[in-house]
Structures are given as C-alpha cells and as structure tokens.
Amino acid sequence: MYTVNSGIYRFISFTDAGRELMEKLCFLLEETSEVGPGSHNERLCKPDQNFEPASYNKSMRLSDWTSDNFIKGNVLVFIGAMGIAVRAIAPFIKDKTTDPAVIVIDEKGRFVIPVLSGHFGGAVDAARLLAGLIGAVPVLTTATDVRDEFAIDVFASSNNMAINDMHKAKEFTAKILAGSSAQFTVTPNLKKDGGMYLIPKMLVIGMGCRRGKSFEELQAFLQDILVINNYDIRAIKALVSVDMKKDEEGLIKLSKYLDIPFVTFTPEVLMEQEGDFDHSDMVMKTIGADNVCERAVYAYGCRELTLKKTARDGMTIAIGLTDVEIKV
C-alpha cells in the first residue's frame, strides 16, 4: 500500500498507477491553494507544509491505516476499488455529524465518488474539487445534489453551524424535495418548540477563576449560566481570559471539552478595551487589570455583553456575541 498526507487529505492506493495519481493530486492541491484565503474551498485546498512523497509500506494493515485516520475533519481518499474502501471503513462508521469524509477514485482518475459524510464532512465539495483538478467526473448520489436543491446540512456545515435536531433536518429536506415550503431559524438560543434551528458559533465566554479551580467546577458554572440565559452550548465560539491563566488546567480542559480555542490576553491589552466594565481593586492589584472576563470578551472582538460579570465561588463569567457572516 502507498500512503501520503496533504493538509486534511489522507490518500491511500494499492498500485503504482494509484500512487502516481495521488501524488499528482497532492501537487495540484498545492497549486490550487494559491487562490488565497476566503475562497470557497479554502479549507479543502490548504496543503500540508511538511508534505512528503508517497511512501510504500508492505507491512501496514489497511484497518490500521483507516483507524488512525478516521477522524472528523480528515478527508480519506481511497484510490482503488469501491469495495475495498467500504469494507475498510465499515467498522468505524458512527454518525454522519462526526464521521470524516470518505472518497473513492479509480486508479485511472475517471470518477471521483463521495462515499461517506458527503455534506457534514465535506466529501461532496472535496469530490468536486478533486474531480476538477484531474478532469474526472464527480459521481454524486445525494438527492439534494442530484436535483440541485438547497441542502440544510451543507448550508450549516459551510457556515460552521450546528443543527438542533437531525430528525428535523431530515423532515426539512423531505419538504424541499417534495416542493413544499420549509423554514429554519438561525439563533444561539436553546429552542425546544420542535422547530428547525441552526446554531451559529457566536458566543464568546470570558472566564476568570482562582488558581486551581477544577474542570468540573468551571463546567458546572458555565452550564448553569447557559441554562439561565437560554443559550445552546453548541453556540460557543471561544473561551477567553487573561494570559496569567493560559496554563490553568481547568480552563484548558474546559476548552478541549467544548472543542473551542482558549485565547488569553495580556493585562495591558485588557486595559486598552473601552466600555462599561465592572471594576475590582483586588483584581487590578493582582493581575494588572481591573476586570478579566468582561474585558477579555471585548479584546476578542465583541462589542456587546449579553451577560455582564457574574461571580460564584471564586469564578467569574461574562458572555459576548460576535457577528455571524453567512455564506449562501
């Protein structure tokens, strides 16, 4: 077997012809990335700066390679028979919202087939891109793509939004395909009225805490605040604080649990922020800024607090909103 990685792509082939094709694709992907930031396929085109030529590994098992690379965010590209790919990924398939994209290309480069996670994982867009690079035919079988209809999961994925209920998404798509009217709402709020909602990543959580606060304490505090303010946890975009807390284990674990970046700022940057912030002489004396949670939210780029500083048992929290840029 031959394998090579380039950016988010994980290529595998089983013949010399397949190896040549995947090395060609890696080269073309690097050239395509020169379209620059902001292009529709920027994430799909970004190459690996440490790219190395394809390697041959006689002892590697296909199941091991699949297991190692079957991670959300990757695009697995099998160059060979469809049956090989299907049997390889079958034990690892769990859920369309978490499975990676899987694509099959014949070794002559005539057809590019998205097999798994076509919309959420980006397999359909990746298949179109790869097919365009080598002059192949993208073989699309999802109903919305075949009919060129609006796909709620594609829209959500391309705009980094979560879907509140996958059953509702299926109902929404069924209405579209039946020619009926279908509506959805974009909101960071938690909704339980049975409607179709998309949750944008727009909440910035500013937090401060005493040294040694556990992940469990911080997570429980955040969860209570979200419930009280009726926010969906999936709407959180970033966790922010002062740089004195960049090594705070509880905050680091919280950001990993939420799968969001943990961003910190110097006291000087915090004090440069302009706004109506809660003032604490003790905090000013301790870290050099009179407020952590509110000022950190502003430092991230928010210009409005939807929740001002709230304190509990040595922890503080504030919430701000970022703008949402929707790509149609």
Using one digit for the tens of pLDDT, what is the confidence trace for 173-217? 788 778 888 888 899 998 888 888 999 999 999 999 999 999 999
Mean pLDDT of 13-27: 91
For 173, list phi and psi in degrees, rounded to 5: -65, -40
Rounded-to-5 percentages of helix, strand, coil across the chain: 40, 25, 40
What is residue 143's predicted lDDT score, i.e. its pLDDT? 60
* CA diameter of the chain: 70
pLDDT at residue number 148: 64
CA distances from 257 to 147, 233, 238, 254, 291 (A): 38, 11, 12, 5, 25
pLDDT at 147 over 80: no
Summarize the confidence of residues 93-103 as an average pLDDT: 89
Assigned fold of 2-141? Rossmann fold (3.40.50)
Report yes or no: 186 and 198 within 8 Å, Cβ to Cβ.
yes
Task: Give the CATH number of domain 201-321; options: 3.90.79.10, 3.40.190.10, 3.40.50.1980, 3.30.420.180.
Answer: 3.30.420.180
Length of the chain: 328
pTM of the model: 0.65
The pLDDT tens digits for 279-309 are 999 999 999 999 999 999 999 999 889 999 9
Residue 218 sits at the vertex; the CA angle it makes with 304 and 245, to the nearest 5 degrees, is 75
Strands 203-209 and 236-242: parallel
Which pLDDT does position 193 carry in this prediction? 82
Are the C-beta atoms of 275 and 298 separated by less than 8 Å?
A: yes
Domain boundaries, the chain: 2-141, 158-199, 201-321
Least confident of 132-141, 160-169, 297-306: 160-169
